[in-house]
């Protein structure tokens, strides 16, 4: 009995922390958005934005590749490079929410990535009914 109470308490605490984080993100007005900062050039090519990435969709309009977990993480990295910090954090929170509450994903990140294959960040936030105001 104690174990199930502890598990329940932990789930409640996680749920509340997600909700508090989301409520903090929900108050951002479009005219208050920060300009997207271009990352500084570094010695590794991992953080640089190449010309191909600049030409295509940017930020939350980039479709996520859910064909594998590695491809999903790579497409999330593209979103992170071309989004504002607050937009990306909101997307991360939406993904965390889906990982916890999307029963078909069974709390498996690879399954969730597969279910979100081809969706944009905007579509994912609409899926969980979050919209930046």
| Predicted confidence pLDDT, tens digits, the chain (133 residues) | 566 666 666 656 565 455 545 555 554 444 444 444 444 444 344 444 555 555 678 899 999 999 999 999 999 999 999 999 999 999 999 999 999 999 999 999 999 999 999 999 999 999 988 655 4
Query: Which burial class, exposed, middle or buried, applies to 29 when counting CB atoms under 10 A from its CB (0-12, 13-18, 19+)?
Result: exposed
42/61 Cα distance (integer angstroms): 25
DSSP 46: G
- The DSSP string of 83-97 is S-HHHHHHHHHHHHH
Place of tokens 């969730």: 112
């Amino acid at each position: 009995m104690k174990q199930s109470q502890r598990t329940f308490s932990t789930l409640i605490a996680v749920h509340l922390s997600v909700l508090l984080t989301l409520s903090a993100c929900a108050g951002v007005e479009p005219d208050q958005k920060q300009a997207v900062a271009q990352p500084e050039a570094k010695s590794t090519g991992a953080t640089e934005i190449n010309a191909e990435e600049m030409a295509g969709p940017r930020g939350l309009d980039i479709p996520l590749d859910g064909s594998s977990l590695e491809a999903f993480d790579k497409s999330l990295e593209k979103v992170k490079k071309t989004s504002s910090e607050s937009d990306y954090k909101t997307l991360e929170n939406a993904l965390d929410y889906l990982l916890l509450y999307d029963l078909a994903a069974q709390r498996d990140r690879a399954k969730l990535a597969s279910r979100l294959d081809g969706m944009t960040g905007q579509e994912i936030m609409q899926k969980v009914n979050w919209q930046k105001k």
